[in-house]
Amino acid sequence: MNSDPSRLLMPRSQEGLARLIDREGLDDGRIAAAFRAIDRRVFVPSRFHRVAYEDRPVGIPADQTTSQPSLIARMIDAARVPAEGRVLEIGTGYGYQTALLARLCREVYSVERHRELAERAEANLLAAGIDNATVKVGDGWAGWPEHAPYDAIVVSAAASEVPGALREQLAEGGRLVIPVAEVGSDNVYLCEKTGGETKIVRLLTPARFVPLVRGAPE
């Protein structure tokens, strides 16, 4: 049994989860609307359906996790996804954040290292009625140069440094949100490209992520 007392206050419905996101005080009001529109239950394994609306990470196959919803919300908010824009996501997982991003912009491209997860994410996105997100199996360290530049890039796994390919593939004025593994914790940074250079603007929050692994899956 899980004895964590915060469980008692956890949302039990999609609307409850959306209300929790309402209370995050985000700049972009479209984000809570995206949480209302996308059912997280579709994007977690069936054995976790019971806890799908709780604000916590949930395990998915290949020893990965789908991120905590409020953290996803804050990262997407910081990325300032433009309605007419093109977004790159690194680390698709089961596709929940992909679906949320797809509600907010015109096109989403998402790179996932594990084929098993990428295929499942595609099926989940289809089930959720999302038709403007494309998933590929690949190494996120290389980004997805064919569709660059991107107005926003959101990375869902902790890198050892900000990958050069992602810095390059960002559009001028675009924003990159990325967790970096540092001593003691992972830190989520907001970067922005100005004058042709992608620089760190500020630290958003410490958080825990799975590592952004280098190279193709074994």
Catalytic residues: 67
- Per-residue mark of binding to ligand SAH, 185-214 (x: CB under 6 A): -------------------------x-xx-
The answer to whether 71 contacts ligand SAH (rule: CB under 6 A) is no
List the one residue from 35, 96, 144, 189 that touches ligand SAH (CB under 6 A). Answer: 96
Contact 212, 141 (CB under 8 A): yes
40, 85, 87, 156: which one binds ligand SAH (CB under 6 A): 156
**Residue number, 94 or 150, with CB nearest to ligand SAH:** 94
Give the residue with the Cβ less far from ligand SAH, 156 or 169. 156
179 φ, ψ (degrees, to nearest 5): -80, 135
Give the whole-angstrom CA distance, residue 7 versus residue 55: 9
Q: Which stretch binds ligand SAH (CB under 6 A): 13-21, 59-67, 145-153, 174-182?
A: 59-67
- Which of 14, 65, 134, 205 is in the footprint of ligand SAH by CB under 6 A? 65
- Tell me which stretch binds ligand SAH (CB under 6 A): 18-26, 64-72, 182-190, 198-206: 64-72
207, 179 Cβ separation under 8 angstroms: yes
Assess contact for 149 and 174: CB atoms under 8 A.
yes
Residue/partner pairs of 51-57 with CB below 8 Å, 24 or more apart: 51/10, 53/10, 53/11, 53/12, 53/13, 53/14, 53/16, 53/17, 54/7, 54/10, 54/11, 54/12, 54/17, 55/10, 55/11, 55/17, 55/20, 56/10
70 binds ligand SAH (CB under 6 A): no
Q: Whose Cβ is closer to ligand SAH: residue 50's or residue 136's?
A: 136
- Contact residues for 149 (Cβ-Cβ < 8 A; gap 6+): 86, 169, 170, 171, 172, 174
CA distance 76 to 74: 6
Residue 98 Cβ vs ligand SAH, minimum distance, rounded to whole Å: 7
Q: Does 72 bind ligand SAH (CB under 6 A)?
A: yes
The residue ranges that bind ligand SAH (CB under 6 A) are 62, 64-67, 72, 90-91, 93-94, 96-97, 111-114, 117, 139-141, 156-157, 210, 212-213
